[in-house]
């Protein structure tokens, strides 16, 4: 074990923040760290919008499902998959710009890798973070609020700030459930879920003082009972992304 591994293994999502803005030095360290994440073929197909304006944060909080911590955090970051800049570079070289589903995947993955670097940088400075996937609840309205051009879409948000809570660590699957040597072993899938359901059942009971009696698989079944954010594909197509 070393300090980096200890930091990674102590991650918790923070959903309550003190009303303290980040310093310019903290923000710069987070963004520069995000930029140093791995990127496919050096395309760097992502952009980050940092939001500190109270009214814009209020708007985004509402669009993301009325999540109050979007307003409370010192800095709200929106990580965007960005082919707009790629298109501009190609056109500057007077070449045709071809994009497809692979291009969208590359941009989305680049944004995710950059975000995780940002999260680790923030936590190394004793700040807290929370990813906000709810930013995709109303992606067109979010895009308008942030003035995102065509071929840019908001992948997720991230609250960053000084923590005002000490939540417990959320249990994860046992390592043998997610790590396969040499080939995927599907024979252990159901037993891994059963074991994790026992762990999460106890976790939810303790976390809610006995008010919540559920398991991981029950929550997943509820989530995927119907299509999740089915509006995303038409939104992406309207933003100029080609899903082919």
205, part of any domain: yes
Q: What is the dihedral of CA 14, 19, 23, 26, to 10 degrees?
A: 0
**Sign of torsion, CA 154 27 4 37?**
positive
Residues 74 and 131 in one domain: yes
The Cα–Cα gap between 60 and 47 comes to: 17
184, part of any domain: yes
| Alpha-helical runs (H) found in 53-178 | 54-63, 68-72, 84-92, 101-124, 139-145, 175-178
244, part of any domain: no
115, part of any domain: yes
Residues 106 and 179 in one domain: no
**For the segment 140-198, what is each residue's pLDDT rounded down to a tens digit?**
999 999 999 999 999 999 999 999 999 999 999 999 999 999 999 999 999 999 999 99
| 83 in Cβ contact with 151 (< 8 Å) | yes
Residues 232 and 127 in one domain: yes
| 171 in Cβ contact with 41 (< 8 Å) | no
Residues 145 and 205 in one domain: no
149, part of any domain: yes
194, part of any domain: yes
Residues 189 and 135 in one domain: no
**For the segment 88-144, what is each residue's pLDDT rounded down to a tens digit?**
999 999 999 999 999 999 999 999 999 999 999 999 999 999 999 999 999 999 999
- For residue 200, pLDDT over 90 is answered with yes
Count of structural domains, the chain = 2
Residues 179 and 140 in one domain: no
Residues 138 and 35 in one domain: yes
The Cα–Cα gap between 15 and 131 comes to: 10
What pLDDT score does 74 carry?
A: 98
Residues 98 and 78 in one domain: yes
Cβ within 8 Å of residue 43, ≥6 positions away: 86, 106, 107, 110
What pLDDT score does 165 carry?
A: 97
What pLDDT score does 1 carry?
A: 83
Q: Which CATH number covers residue 87?
A: 3.40.109.10
What pLDDT score does 114 carry?
A: 98
43, part of any domain: yes
Which range marks the domain in which residue 100 is found?
3-167+228-238
């Amino acid at each position: 074990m070393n300090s980096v591994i200890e930091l990674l293994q102590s991650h918790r999502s923070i959903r309550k923040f003190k009303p303290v803005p980040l310093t310019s030095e903290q923000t710069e360290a987070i963004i520069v760290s995000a930029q140093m994440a791995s990127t496919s073929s050096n395309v760097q197909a992502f952009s980050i919008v940092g939001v500190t304006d109270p009214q814009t944060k209020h708007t985004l909080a509402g669009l993301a499902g009325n999540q109050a911590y979007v307003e409370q955090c010192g800095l709200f970051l929106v990580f965007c998959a960005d082919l707009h800049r790629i298109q501009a570079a190609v056109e500057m070289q007077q070449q045709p710009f071809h994009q497809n589903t692979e291009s969208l995947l590359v941009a989305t993955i680049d944004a995710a890798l950059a975000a995780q670097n940002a999260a680790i940088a923030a936590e190394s400075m004793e700040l807290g973070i929370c990813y906000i996937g709810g930013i995709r609840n109303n992606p067109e309205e979010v895009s308008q609020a942030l003035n995102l051009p065509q071929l840019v879409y908001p992948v997720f948000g991230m609250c960053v700030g000084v923590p005002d809570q000490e939540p417990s660590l959320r249990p994860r699957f046992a390592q043998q459930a997610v790590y396969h040597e040499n080939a995927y072993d599907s024979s252990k899938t159901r037993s891994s879920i059963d074991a994790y359901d026992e762990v999460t059942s106890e976790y939810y009971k303790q976390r809610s003082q006995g008010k919540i009696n559920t398991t991981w698989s029950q929550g997943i079944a509820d989530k995927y009972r119907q299509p999740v954010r089915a509006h995303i594909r038409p939104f992406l197509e309207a933003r100029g992304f080609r899903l082919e």
